[in-house]
A and B are shown apart, each in its own frame.
Chain A
């Protein structure tokens, strides 16, 4: 069957089971959009900015575990998705981005809306391909989805010149993919797994440290089985949240810069770390030379480059987390004296962990305060949606509070920009997740700083009736920047005070969606309840304490045991000269 390039494109998407793509048309992709327009199987969500499209595709990919898809035009269309590509690269998000390109005979001639899409995206994609011949298009698309979804997932970009989208070729969609240079290791080395089991049985103070790899692998059940069998306390990175129930007695919460006291102390004192799909990011390890100084390290990861990159692994195991954990649990179960003996053996360590947990639990003081504490809003939102919502965050203080207080129970229900820390990710990603799961409650926890970076997508939520519940924690600051300035720059708030924000209720109404506002702690719960009950999208604006800081905090370059647990005394004096606490907390831009 002979089809033109655009028909091949759409047929290929169908074969991949793609139901939704996010994008914006433009000169060189008109034919692709024209063919999409004439069929019903693949829905096109027209976003307001290409960055919105790529983050929506990310949200879709993170929520479902299958590649999200974006389609944008050449030149500015492509350059606008670069942030999302790098974000997906850092967080291993399965994603296929299709970009338009000028006709092949014009490539390199500085044609209108030309950019070197392949050159620009090379370092921020897992793979990218320029399709030079329409006859290669179907196979290229097949490979793109295969590469995006397998191994350590990631973004793949396919660049389609205009003439390739119009010329015809015989359509044959390959059944199988065989790329000789790409064969991810799935099964772990048996000998290494046996060694690991031996170490685990010997360890006195072991910690399981789980990252996003466990979630991409879909290994929540295996993680739980492993932790329960071995009775080892467990901590998660921000990317790993959801891989293990936050309410489980073995769960120590998140670790790292804003991790719990308990998790970080356990990391510092551990004699064995079992890293599961995690990559020892600097926000997790703190000062490398003092990181877990007494621990031996078992490192399970599908990506060999993650192993021994930052921290030495005594027992590296390359493989898919789910597969390796299954094998490991099998070996452990067959060992002598297991698992009954383990329980007794772990008691002293578990006792120590509970002591840490009790000594400095996550805490904030709402009672008796006039202003709303952001943690209070998040905790209430958590209580009202317990284990039923998909939580999508933006980046900054609110992200860390959400990570601390949302004790999720399921994988792929806490979506955040962990590696790149992209402000503006949250709202479009929430739209993408909502599109994937129209009947689930999707919360977008954001702030006035992050939200304003992609608020144009309110139109998409309204037009496509995607009922995202936006919880906007408004302190009129780039809060995390302000926190660092408080702690390390003597309170000089260089360009962190936003001065004023728009009237978010009116803004929501201007887009035809419900806007709600909360002034103080008294109406927080009522606003949340009303917003959650509403059928359509909602923007809930919470005026919060402008000067609340996120603790614990390991100062950059500090070690795990050097956590700061509350505002240090010097901040009281350095804050003079800034806008006073509470002053103008509701400042709105002049009409």
Chain B
């Protein structure tokens, strides 16, 4: 099963290598990875999407916790959470396709962030299913390039 694990780490050189190395050395999967600073400049947040049986996930959590520079590890999959990723999609947009592309963008609350006579570039955020749906709809127009971020996630606050 897929798990989204967020890892708070010391913002120091080599920490990402240590975390990534742990996954490769132990034959764990990384499906996506995102790293960014937090409001506290000494701390970074790594969000890892991985998959495996429960025992493997338990090992991953423990192994991550064992890294000296890791401060906190949370498996967000275990709680109610929101997860998002962003995609930048460059499509062929000939005259005949331009209206349809705008309609699709509107439906999915995507933005057209660049436009040339032959192309549109769309920016879309959402969960993976939504991004995939947009890509599927845009496919007939001819997708030139897609760049996707890793997934990020946050726990929902309980009311």
Contact = CB atoms under 8 A, between A and B. Distances in A.
B29 interface: no
Interface string A145-173: 00100000000000000000000000000
Contacts of B65: 304
A182 interface: yes
Interface string A296-314: 0000000111011100000
A182 B62 CA distance: 13
A181 B68 contact: yes
A180 interface: yes
A46 B74 CA distance: 47
B28 to A, nearest CB: 13
A123 interface: yes
Nearest to B17: A122
Nearest to B65: A304
B68 A123 contact: no
Contact of B18 (A122, A130, A308): A122
A309 to B, nearest CB: 6
Interface residues of A, number: 18
B14 interface: yes
Interface string B66-93: 1111110000000000000000000000
B66 A303 contact: yes
B99 interface: no
Contacts of B21: 122-123
A305 B62 contact: yes
B63 interface: yes
A147 B69 CA distance: 12
Given A118-B14, A119-B17, A122-B21, A179 B68 contact: yes
A127 B21 CA distance: 13
Contacts of B25: 123
Nearest to A181: B71
What size tier do the contact residues of chain B reach?
20 to 34
A118 B15 CA distance: 11
Interface in B42-65: 55, 58-59, 62-63, 65
B10 interface: yes
Contacts of B62: 304-305, 307
Given A122-B18, A122-B21, A182 B59 contact: no
Contact of A308 (B58, B63, B67, B68): B58
Contacts of B67: 181
B14 A308 contact: no
A304 B66 contact: yes
B68 to A, nearest CB: 5
A51 B14 CA distance: 26
Interface centre among B21, B68, B71 (most CB of A within 10 A): B68
A181 B17 contact: no
A421 B10 CA distance: 34
Contact of A309 (B13, B17, B59, B71): B59
B14 to A, nearest CB: 6
A108 B68 CA distance: 25
Contacts of B10: 180-181
A126 B63 CA distance: 12
A127 B68 contact: yes
A127 B22 CA distance: 13
A309 B10 CA distance: 26
Nearest to B25: A123
A309 B68 CA distance: 20
Interface in A94-137: 118-119, 122-123, 126-127, 130
A122 B66 contact: no
A180 B71 contact: yes
A147 B10 CA distance: 16
Nearest to B55: A308
Interface centre among B55, B65, B66 (most CB of A within 10 A): B66
B14 A182 contact: no
A130 B67 CA distance: 16
A122 B55 contact: no
Nearest to A306: B62
Interface in A201-237: none
Contacts of B70: 181
Contacts of B14: 118, 122, 130
Nearest to A151: B66
Interface centre among B17, B62, B69 (most CB of A within 10 A): B62
Nearest to B66: A305
A281 B13 CA distance: 33
A307 B14 CA distance: 27
A303 B65 CA distance: 10
A182 B68 contact: yes
A180 B41 CA distance: 15
B4 to A, nearest CB: 21
B66 to A, nearest CB: 6
Contacts of A180: 10, 71
Interface in B2-38: 9-10, 13-14, 17-18, 21, 25
Contacts of B18: 122
A222 B10 CA distance: 38
Given A122-B18, A122-B21, A123-B21, A147 B59 contact: no
Contacts of B68: 126-127, 147, 179, 181-182
5 contacts: A122-B17, A122-B18, A181-B10, A181-B68, A304-B65
Given A122-B17, A122-B18, A180-B10, 7 more contacts: A119-B17, A123-B25, A126-B68, A180-B71, A181-B9, A304-B62, A307-B62
Interface of A: 118-119, 122-123, 126-127, 130, 147, 179-182, 303-305, 307-309
In the A-B complex, the 5 residue pairs with the closest CB atoms:
A305-B62, A304-B62, A127-B68, A181-B71, A182-B68
